[in-house]
């Protein structure tokens, strides 16, 4: 390991610790006051209960199970505390953390494999498709879960359509992917406008508009349970293949000459990124700029090597969206939609960064 790699390792460790600290601190944001001591005890109690529950199923009268049972402390707090922590704040913080992390790592993977630092995870139409799906779900009067499922499926469907379309012209696959993404995105946006036009302006239209602005204000425990596993699954695939993105970033011919089948690798990466983005967006609505800006900050910290850039983007994105979500719920009486904040904070920061790096992609 070179000295540079050791320094990058320390940066990554610091960011992961910072992400955990930010997540923990974010549990205190909100109107209902909880002291740090109570928070630690509530979390520890739930953790011990889960360990006990698991052990009790494996070994109902083992010594370990008895030991675990003694670790579960008696509740010295009001029941409201548990409701606030486990039904409202923890799901929200975990979702912000994993959606921010997922959008950022997908963005870093896309920028590398498409050899373009200006692309974001919605390049191939996943967010446009998800928006359309959500609008259709809202128009059909679906439940929250139905709307999320519609968003997820349409997001994935849009990318699948882009992919199939690009395969028709085999000459320049990467360029065709990008162009097909633009076509599919435009079609989805046109249909979304149609959906808005047809929507009931007193009830459905505001719901669609708010969904498109992105928010975690109403997320529940179930939302977290539905969205986080696919996000983590996609992230795992991206992390496993991260060094190979370096090879793709040299262009298809060079990747092939270095022993990689670029089409196959890209397909796997696109599937994983799409799963991550679609699962996140289906719960949160559309959140822009995170997937574009965070990888650039990552590159400023650790350089372009995707082996270190992807985990660093992951941690940075988690920190960023968790903080933005704290801002959204704490700054004003009425919650500001997340998509607005990420743009207001992200866009000027991006402009500032371009000035600092003078347009280079270091």
Q: What are the tokens at 349?
A: 């920061």
Token pair, residue 222, equals 């179930």
Contact with other proteins (CB under 8 A): which of 257, 330, 344, 354? Answer: 257
Minimum distance from CB of 346 to other proteins (Å)? 21
Residue 150, judged by CB atoms within 10 A of its CB (0-12, 13-18, 19+), counts as buried
Nearer to other proteins, 153 or 260 (CB): 260
Residues 216-235 as x/- pattern, contact with other proteins by CB under 8 A:
--------------------
C-beta of 9: minimal distance to other proteins in Å? 13
Q: Which residue has the tokens 């719920």?
A: 329
Separation in Å, CA 264 to CA 109, 177, 248: 15, 14, 11
Quick note: the x/- pattern for other proteins over 3-22, rule CB under 8 A, is -x------------------
Sole binder of other proteins in the list 189, 246, 349, 350 (CB under 8 A): 246
Nearer to other proteins, 119 or 138 (CB): 119
Q: Does 1 bind other proteins (CB under 8 A)?
A: yes
**By CB under 8 A, how many residues form the interface with other proteins?**
33
Q: Which of 33, 60, 201, 259 binds other proteins (CB under 8 A)?
A: 259
**Which of 79-94 are b and which e, b meaning 16 or more Cβ less than 10 Å from the residue's Cβ?**
eebeebbeebbbbbbb
Per CB under 8 A, does 302 bind other proteins?
no
Strand, coil or helix: 355: helix
Among 6, 10, 167, 256, binds other proteins (CB under 8 A): 256
Cα dist from 343 to 12, 214, 293, whole Å: 26, 11, 10
Side-chain half-sphere exposure of 346, counting CA atoms within 13 A: 24
Contact yes or no for 355/130 (Cβ under 8 A):
no
C-beta separation of 289 from 342 below 8 A: yes
Q: Which of 8, 89, 242, 266 binds other proteins (CB under 8 A)?
A: 242
Q: Considering the complex, what minimum distance in angstroms separates the CB of residue 128 from other proteins?
A: 26
- Structure-block tokens of residue 52: 């006990």
> Distance between CA atoms of 183 and 262, rounded to whole angstroms?
23
Angstrom distance (rounded) from CA 327 to CA 100: 14
Q: Which one of residues 108, 161, 241, 287 is an interface residue with other proteins (CB under 8 A)? A: 241
Q: Of 60 and 259, which CB lies nearer to other proteins in the complex structure?
A: 259
State in angstroms the smallest separation of the CB of 11 from other proteins. 16
Query: 127, 148, 249, 282: which one contacts other proteins (CB under 8 A)?
Result: 249
Query: Can you tell me which of 27, 95, 147, 247 binds other proteins, judged by CB under 8 A?
Result: 247
Residues near other proteins, by CB under 8 A: 1-2, 4, 112, 115-117, 240-244, 246-247, 249-251, 253-254, 256-261, 299, 303-305, 307, 360-362
């Amino acid at each position: 390991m070179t000295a540079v790699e050791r320094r990058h390792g320390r940066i990554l460790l610091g960011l992961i610790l910072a992400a955990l600290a930010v997540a923990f601190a974010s549990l205190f944001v909100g109107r209902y006051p909880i002291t740090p001591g109570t928070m630690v005890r509530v979390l520890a109690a739930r953790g011990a209960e889960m360990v006990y529950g698991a052990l009790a199923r494996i070994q109902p009268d083992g010594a370990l199970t008895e030991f675990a049972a003694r670790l579960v402390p008696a509740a010295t707090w009001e029941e409201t505390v548990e409701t606030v922590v486990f039904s409202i704040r923890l799901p929200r913080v975990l979702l912000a953390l994993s959606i921010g992390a997922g959008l950022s790592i997908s963005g870093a993977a896309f920028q590398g494999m498409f050899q373009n630092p200006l692309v974001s995870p919605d390049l191939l139409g996943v967010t446009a498709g998800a928006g359309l799906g959500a609008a259709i779900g809202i128009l059909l009067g679906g439940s929250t879960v139905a709307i999320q499922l519609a968003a997820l499926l349409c997001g994935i469907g849009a990318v699948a359509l882009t992919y199939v379309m690009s395969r028709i012209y085999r000459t320049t696959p990467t360029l065709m992917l990008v162009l097909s993404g633009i076509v599919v995105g435009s079609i989805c946006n046109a249909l979304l406008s149609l959906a808005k036009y047809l929507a009931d302006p007193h009830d459905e239209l505001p719901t669609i508009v708010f969904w498109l602005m992105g928010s975690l204000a109403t997320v529940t425990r179930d939302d977290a349970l539905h969205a986080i596993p696919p996000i983590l699954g996609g992230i795992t695939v991206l992390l496993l293949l991260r060094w190979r993105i370096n090879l793709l970033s040299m262009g298809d011919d060079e990747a092939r000459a270095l022993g990689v089948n670029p089409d196959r690798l890209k397909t796997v990466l696109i599937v994983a990124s799409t799963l991550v983005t679609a699962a996140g967006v289906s719960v949160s609505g559309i959140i822009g700029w995170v997937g574009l800006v965070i990888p650039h900050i990552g590159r400023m910290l650790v350089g372009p090597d995707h082996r270190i850039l992807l985990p660093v983007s992951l941690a940075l994105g988690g920190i960023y969206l968790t903080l933005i979500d704290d801002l959204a719920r704490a700054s004003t009486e009425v919650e500001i939609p997340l998509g607005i904040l990420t743009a207001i904070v992200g866009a000027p920061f991006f402009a500032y960064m371009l000035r600092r790096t003078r347009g280079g992609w270091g």
